[in-house]
Amino acid sequence: MKVKGLATLAVVLALTAAPAILAAQTAPTHTSPAKPSTPSYAAPAADPARSDCNGVPCEDQTPRTIYVPSAPAPVAWAWHDRILWAAYLVLALLGYAGIMLANSTLKKIERHAAAAEETAATSASAAAATATAAAATATAAAETAQAALLHAQSILNAERPWLTIAVEPTLGVQDSFNVIATNRGRSPATITSALDQVLFAADEAHLPPADAFSNAEPKSPFVPIILLPGEYATLRTLKREDARELCGTDEQFLKVEVWAEKLFLRGKVIYNDLIAPAGKATHETNWCCWYIHGRQKSALVLSGLPELNAHT
């Protein structure tokens, strides 16, 4: 950098001194008057009688005289030329200082621009890393919240009431069966509705879907039943003599008797959690039973597809 600056200064000084030197060379000078020019030699007229001495030039010939011009006087450097040269020198120094200052300023600007770019790149990287960390934190928080919700839901499910359906023979009555709902959960339940219907089909696959109860209404007002954990309630009782009444006609009863068609009892129990907050969604338990009519004995067993015996 220093060598480059010195070279620049030398070039500037050379360019500055050139006009002064040229001006000095072209300025008029005051010199002493020149001597009149004389011939380089003077010889008298040749004498024919003495021009030849027996074939040898005579010795008394007049010698030749050679005049050498005097050297020019040194050129005088006027005061105004010196002042002009000094002004050029000052301008050259100022120009050099300005060039060096501009070069230094440009270097600083370049360094500042590079530092700004590096800072911007670092800030962008930091912002991207922060955004990534924030997204990861949000994802982790969402996963934690979901896990906490699932854990809380599992606790509620473990503590809530669960009504299950079972079929038991009626005590003391032959060929009579009871469909009962038992609270197998850990908190009381309130049965708010119980629906059932009689269906005839060749097998379970031909039964209507489970949402057939969506518009069904109970035939008589239902009185809510509260079941503590372990308690049960009878939903429906079916006897052998009730089969003919359920079939409606002798022809339909004959089909059931010879197993050409099967008689199904299908129902649904709707209940609430007694300790749940107000407005809590209700729970449902679906059930489906197949009545088997034999020659002398009858039976009632749980049957049907899984969706017909689902719990919510």
Model pLDDT, residue 64? 60
Comparing C-alpha atoms, which of 293, 98, 278 is closest to residue 200?
293
Claim to verify: residue 185 and residue 305 sit in the same structural domain: yes
Q: Which domain holds residue 279?
A: 163-309
168 and 87 in a single domain? The answer is no
Residues 268 and 148 in one domain: no
Determine the Cα–Cα distance for residues 26 and 29; give it in Å rounded to an integer: 9
Residue 32 lies in a domain: no
State how far the Cα of 307 lies from the Cα of 300, in Å rounded to an integer: 19
Task: Please tell me the pTM assigned to this model.
Answer: 0.53
Q: Tell whether 155 is covered by a domain.
A: yes
Q: What is the predicted pLDDT for the residue at 38? A: 46
Whether 57 is covered by a domain: the verdict is no
The predicted pLDDT at position 180 comes to: 93
- β-bridge partners, 12: none
Of 113, 133, 159, which closes a domain?
A: 159
**Do 299 and 212 share a domain, yes or no?**
yes
pLDDT of residue 122: 87
pLDDT of residue 66: 63
Q: Is residue 5 part of a domain?
A: no
Tens of each residue's pLDDT in the chain, 312 residues: 555 565 566 655 565 555 555 554 554 444 444 444 444 444 444 555 455 555 555 555 555 666 566 666 666 777 877 788 888 888 888 888 888 888 888 888 988 888 888 888 888 888 888 889 988 889 999 988 988 888 877 777 778 899 999 999 998 888 899 999 999 988 899 898 888 888 888 888 888 887 766 555 565 677 888 999 999 999 989 898 888 888 888 898 888 888 888 888 888 999 988 776 666 668 889 999 989 888 888 888 888 788 888 888
pLDDT at 33: 45
pLDDT given for residue 15 in this prediction? 59
Whether 284 and 300 map to the same domain: the answer is yes
Q: Are residues 154 and 280 in the same domain?
A: no
- 149 and 250 in a single domain? The answer is no
My answer on whether 126 and 202 are in the same domain is no
Closest among 282, 296, 187, 171 to 231, alpha carbons compared: 187
**Can you give the pLDDT at residue 285?**
92
Say whether both 201 and 249 belong to one domain.
Answer: yes
DSSP class per residue in 41-109: ---PPPPTTTS-BTTB--TTPPPP--PPPPPPPPPP--HHHHHHHHHHHHHHHHHHHHHHHHHHHHHHH
Q: Where are the alpha helices (DSSP H) in 160-273?
A: 242-247, 250-257
Total tally of structural domains belonging to the chain: 2
End-of-domain residue from the set 159, 183, 211: 159
Q: Given 159, 184, 206, which residue is the final one in a domain?
A: 159
